[in-house]
Amino acid sequence: MEGGAAENFSRMGTLGIEEEFYVVDERGRPTSGTDELVYESEPPEILDDRLDHELFKCVIETQTPLIENPDNAREHLLAVRNALVDHAREHGYQIAAAGLHPTARWRELEHADKPRYRKQLDRIQYPQHRNTTAGLHVHVGVDDADKAVWVANELRWYVPLLLALSANSPYWNGFDTGLQSARAKIFEALPNTGMPTAFEDYDAFERFERTMLETDSIRDRGELWYDVRPHTGHGTVEVRAPDGQADPDRVLAFVEYVHALVIDLCERYEDGESGSEHRRELLDENKWRALRHGHDADLLDREFDQSVPLQALVEDEIDRLGVTALRPLIERESGATRQRRLHDDEGIDTLCQSLLLEKH
pLDDT for res 1: 43
What sign does the CA torsion over 298, 303, 304, 307 have? Answer: negative
| Low-confidence stretches of the chain (pLDDT beneath 50) | 1
Which CATH code is given to the segment(s) 6-354? 3.30.590.20
What count of residues does the chain have?
Answer: 360
| Domain chopping of the chain, boundaries | 6-354
pLDDT for res 359: 93
Q: What is the CA radius of gyration of the chain?
A: 19
From the number of C-beta atoms within 10 Å of its C-beta (0-12, 13-18, 19+), residue 306 rates as exposed
CA distances from 213 to 146, 202, 223 (A): 21, 16, 10
CA distance 293 to 29: 27
CA distance 243 to 262: 20
Q: Which residues contact 352 (CB under 8 A, 6 or more apart)?
A: 24, 27, 28, 29, 96, 102, 103
pLDDT, one tens digit per residue, over 124-155 is 999 999 999 999 999 999 999 999 999 999 99
CA distances from 32 to 46, 55, 129, 229 (A): 23, 11, 15, 31
CA distance 100 to 245: 10
CA-wise closest residue to 236 among 139, 156, 155, 151? 139
pLDDT, one tens digit per residue, over 165-201 is 999 999 999 999 999 999 999 999 999 999 999 999 9
- The vertex-297 CA angle with 293 and 299, nearest 5°, equals 135
Partner residues linked to 220 by β-bridges: 2
CA distance 95 to 104: 14
**Is 190 strand, coil or helix?**
coil
pLDDT for res 4: 82
**Is residue 299 within a helix (H) or strand (E), and if so which, with residue range?**
strand 298-300
**Is 258 strand, coil or helix?**
helix
What pTM value is reported for the model?
Answer: 0.97
- For 277-293, give the DSSP string: ---HHHHHHHHHHHHHH
pLDDT for res 2: 59
